[in-house]
């Protein structure tokens, strides 16, 4: 029992740790590695699974610390049944990704409570290796890979411990052996990664295993404001020439034109492709995994093609000014594209589409519509054809109202005090506080109420430069909503009412503030060093995505071309894989042969070989079995060959063999646990002295006499 006294408890804890049995120490190591594997799952599992896993691991750790008795099998069976019932009640199934991983966690932690034999530890180890695999169903980033690589090393260390049942090998020594085994397997892993055929869906993970960008093909007021708090990366862009200014970096997503008073949805079909003019801007864009069919490309993009990532059947098609993916949802894409600075539609707007883009739900937001009618009358008093031929005059009037009517831009606009379908009335006429989707929606409602075709566009606006690799990063926090109105002779024209109330949101490149929000002087800390680390991490993470996660069948074929295959196919890939595996195996065999005598033996192995060589000089039949024979086997053979009375040399030799066995295989806490190789070698040297040819012959002659 440890008494937690100040300044001495940690000493007692250290002493108690070293006094643990070999089984207790190994059990603690295995439990620690399982906890490391389970830790990333904690945010995904239901609360009762986390609670049960924590109780099981802590219970088993306490039993290992106190050398207590394991719970009965009946109790474990009842716990298993209860956890199975909880899994069914939570997921309504026992199969599938979520329920399956929960069951594996339950089984692995419960198995620890009956951990008493080598077979039980192997089961826990194999379940731990399987749980490492399940981590990549959720996240395949470099951070997860590094963490799970450490977990693999820890479980391999536990596996090597299980293969050394004798003595008390130090953890550092066993860990080095496990690391050496991982390094031996590294060439094989590289060959399989580079040349194993990418068969779909065998190679690919399920589509729900990937992350998602935050954009959606619908818009509810407040949705984009929630994305503004998400700092994860949505896009990476590399420009081939001078990049456009931040206020021109609009990455266009879904176009939304159906409004029911609460939600915006896509509606009318896309028009013909616009006419593009000006010098095009070439760029490469990496789009993180998303379920959205619309690709958020730079506005004005007229050409785009997939350069890496995605399945073989993935294509991208242009619909008006939008780009749509066909297939390959939930996959990271790298595209080469060109964007033009100016575009316009030359065709006239048909009456049917005009009615569609001026439609508003009946009886919703009446005060805003009445205000728009009044504004229209004021403008038409000066310009009678403003709504039909000069809508830019109405746009200027609305923008001026936003700038002068004390509207404010906020991430937390809140909700009306009472539930109401007239959300735009509440925003436009009363609260006057909102995020970009509030201003875009209010602007479109006002324009439609004045008879001007208008719609909402969602996407991303702005990008931050990463000085490490020269790429521009667009985060989900840059999600944005703006508006478009139809101008005769020009087509759709972008109007961003957010720029009227918060121009800094559009004109300035976003840069995160790592210490923003901290109290007092902490918020003023210099974050430049932290930002540099973040930029480096983003660059490394991008390289990981491109070189590892995006390694596809096309890149395999390019690799074969560089190796000499003119027109590589699956047969060529199989040949290359066979050559790679053969050369890897041959190299391993040559390396093993080359180092067979150069690899230092363990101290005990070295002492055993010297003892065996010395004892073979005696005129006694050596023990049967593998060489070198153990000291106990030699002792049995010598006792059978030397009947009593024995000579002094014979008795001394038998005594030395007994002492050597005691030093190596004595019980816990005896000299076997504290003996050094020098003590083993000291006894072996005495055995060698008694086994010199002259002593052996003299002893044999004395025995015959």
Going by pLDDT thresholds of 50, 70 and 90, the confidence category of residue 518 is very low
Beta strands at 408-409 and 433-434: parallel, antiparallel or unpaired:
parallel
List Cβ neighbours of 306 (8 Å cut-off, separation of 6 or more). Answer: 314, 315, 316, 333, 334, 335
Q: Which two tokens stand for residue 6?
A: 């100040």
Residue 216, pLDDT score: 80
Q: Which two tokens stand for residue 118?
A: 């080598």
Torsion over CA of 681, 687, 688 and 689, rounded to 10 degrees?
A: 110
Strand order in the sheet with 333-339: 301-308, 333-339, 281-287, 233-239, 471-475, 464-466
Residue with tokens 């603690």: 28
List Cβ neighbours of 13 (8 Å cut-off, separation of 6 or more). Answer: 2
Nearest residue to 357 (alpha-carbon basis) of 478, 467, 268: 268
Residue with tokens 């050398």: 67
- Could you read off the pLDDT of 567-599 as tens digits, one per residue? 888 888 888 889 988 998 898 888 877 776 555
**Strand-pair partners of 455:** 484
Residue 246, pLDDT score: 81
Give the integer Cα–Cα distance in Å for 342 and 340.
Answer: 6
- 625 against 370, higher pLDDT: 370
Going by pLDDT thresholds of 50, 70 and 90, the confidence category of residue 508 is low
Q: Which two tokens stand for residue 501?
A: 């109330």
CB neighbours (10 Å) of residue 365? 28
Going by pLDDT thresholds of 50, 70 and 90, the confidence category of residue 454 is very high
Residue 312, pLDDT score: 54
Q: Which two tokens stand for residue 669?
A: 């806490």
Residue 102, pLDDT score: 92
Going by pLDDT thresholds of 50, 70 and 90, the confidence category of residue 367 is very high
Give the integer Cα–Cα distance in Å for 506 and 128.
Answer: 49
Q: What is the mean pLDDT of residues 224-243?
A: 80
**Strand-pair partners of 429:** none
Q: What is the mean pLDDT of residues 279-301?
A: 89
Alpha-carbon Rg for the chain, nearest whole angstrom, is 37
- Could you read off the pLDDT of 633-671 as tens digits, one per residue? 888 888 888 888 888 888 888 888 888 888 777 654 444
pLDDT tops 80 at residue 269: no
Q: What is the mean pLDDT of the chain?
A: 81
Angle at 266 between CA 260 and CA 268, to 5 degrees: 100
- 225 against 393, higher pLDDT: 393
Contact call for residues 291 and 212 (beta carbons, < 8 A): yes
- 131 against 613, higher pLDDT: 131
Torsion over CA of 426, 430, 432 and 435, rounded to 10 degrees?
A: -20
Reported as type and span, the H/E element at residue 367 is helix 366-382
Contact call for residues 448 and 454 (beta carbons, < 8 A): yes
Catalytic residues: 436, 480, 496
Residue 627, pLDDT score: 65
- Residue 577 DSSP SS3: helix
Q: Which two tokens stand for residue 438?
A: 């509030």
Residue 449, pLDDT score: 92
Residue 229, pLDDT score: 67
Residue 202, pLDDT score: 44
Give helix 528-544 / helix 142-162 axis angle, nearest 10°: 70
- Could you read off the pLDDT of 314-353 as tens digits, one per residue? 678 888 788 888 776 677 888 899 999 888 876 678 888 8
Reported as type and span, the H/E element at residue 529 is helix 528-544
Q: What is the mean pLDDT of residues 78-102?
A: 89
Going by pLDDT thresholds of 50, 70 and 90, the confidence category of residue 4 is very low
Going by pLDDT thresholds of 50, 70 and 90, the confidence category of residue 602 is low
Q: Above pLDDT 90, what percent of the chain? A: 21
Residue 310, pLDDT score: 54
Helix residue ranges, H only, 163-317:
171-195, 223-227
Angular region, 670: left φ>0, alpha ψ -120 to 50, beta rest: beta
Q: What is the mean pLDDT of residues 157-177?
A: 84
């Amino acid at each position: 029992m440890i008494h937690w006294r100040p300044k001495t408890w940690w000493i007692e804890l250290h002493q108690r740790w070293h006094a643990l049995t070999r089984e207790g120490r190994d059990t603690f190591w295995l439990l620690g590695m399982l906890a490391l594997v389970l830790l990333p799952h904690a945010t995904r599992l239901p609360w009762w699974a986390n609670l049960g896993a924590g109780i099981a691991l802590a219970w088993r750790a306490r039993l290992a610390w106190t050398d207590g008795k394991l719970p009965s099998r009946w109790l474990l069976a009842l716990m298993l049944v209860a956890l199975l019932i909880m899994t069914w009640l939570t997921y309504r199934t026992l199969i599938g990704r979520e329920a399956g991983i929960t069951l594996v966690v339950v089984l692995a932690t419960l198995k620890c409570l009956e951990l008493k034999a080598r077979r039980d530890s192997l089961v826990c180890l194999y379940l731990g290796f399987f749980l490492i695999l399940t981590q990549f169903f959720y996240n395949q980033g470099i951070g997860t890979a590094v963490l799970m690589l450490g977990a693999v090393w820890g479980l391999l260390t536990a596996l090597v411990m299980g293969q050394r049942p004798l003595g008390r090998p130090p953890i550092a020594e066993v860990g080095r052996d496990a690391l050496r085994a991982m390094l031996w397997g590294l060439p094989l892993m590289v060959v399989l990664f580079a040349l194993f055929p990418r068969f779909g869906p065998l190679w690919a993970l399920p589509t729900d295993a990937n992350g998602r960008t935050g954009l959606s093909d619908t818009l509810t007021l407040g949705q984009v404001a929630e994305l503004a708090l998400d700092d994860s990366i949505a896009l990476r862009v590399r420009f081939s020439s001078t990049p456009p200014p931040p206020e021109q970096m609009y990455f266009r997503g879904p176009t939304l034109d159906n409004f029911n008073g609460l939600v915006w949805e896509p509606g009318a079909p896309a028009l013909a492709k616009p006419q593009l003019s000006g010098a095009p801007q070439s760029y490469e864009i990496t789009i993180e995994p998303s379920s959205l069919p619309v690709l958020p490309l730079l506005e004005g993009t007229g050409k785009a093609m997939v350069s890496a990532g995605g399945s073989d059947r993935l294509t991208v098609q242009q619909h008006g000014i939008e780009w749509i993916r066909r297939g390959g949802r939930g996959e990271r894409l790298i595209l080469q594209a060109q964007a033009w600075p100016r575009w316009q539609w030359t065709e006239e707007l048909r009456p049917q589409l005009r009615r569609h883009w001026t439609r508003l739900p009946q009886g919703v937001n009446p005060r805003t519509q009445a205000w728009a009618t009044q504004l229209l009358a004021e403008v038409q008093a000066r310009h009678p054809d403003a709504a039909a031929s000069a809508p830019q005059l109405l746009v200027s009037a609305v923008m001026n109202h936003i700038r002068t009517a004390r509207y404010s831009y906020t991430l937390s606009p809140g909700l009306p005090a009472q539930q109401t379908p007239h959300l735009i009335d509440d925003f436009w006429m009363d609260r006057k506080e909102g995020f970009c989707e509030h201003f875009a929606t209010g602007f479109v409602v006002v324009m439609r109420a004045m008879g001007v075709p208008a719609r909402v566009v969602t996407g991303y606006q702005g990008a931050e430069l990463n000085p490490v690799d020269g790429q521009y990063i667009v985060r989900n926090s840059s999600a944005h909503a703006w508006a478009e109105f139809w101008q005769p002779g020009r087509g759709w024209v972008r109007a961003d009412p957010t720029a009227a109330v918060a121009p800094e949101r559009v004109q300035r490149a976003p840069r995160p503030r790592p210490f923003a929000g901290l109290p007092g002087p902490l918020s003023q800390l210099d974050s430049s060093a932290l930002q540099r680390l973040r930029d480096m991490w983003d660059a490394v993470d991008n390289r990981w995505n491109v070189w590892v996660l995006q390694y596809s069948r096309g890149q395999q074929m390019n690799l074969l071309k560089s190796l000499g295959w003119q027109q590589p196919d699956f047969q060529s890939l199989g040949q290359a894989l066979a050559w790679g595996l053969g050369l890897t195996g041959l190299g391993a065999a040559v390396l093993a042969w080359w180092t067979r005598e150069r690899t230092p033996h363990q101290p005990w192995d070295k002492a055993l070989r010297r003892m065996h060589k010395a004892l073979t000089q005696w005129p006694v039949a050596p023990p049967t079995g593998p060489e070198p024979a153990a000291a106990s086997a030699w002792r049995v053979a010598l006792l059978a060959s030397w009947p009593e009375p024995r000579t002094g040399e014979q008795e001394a030799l038998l005594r030395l063999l007994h002492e050597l066995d005691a030093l190596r295989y004595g019980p816990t806490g005896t000299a076997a646990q504290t003996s050094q190789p020098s003590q083993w070698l000291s006894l072996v040297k005495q055995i060698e002295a008694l086994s010199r040819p002259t002593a052996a012959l003299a002893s044999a002659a004395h025995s015959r006499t």
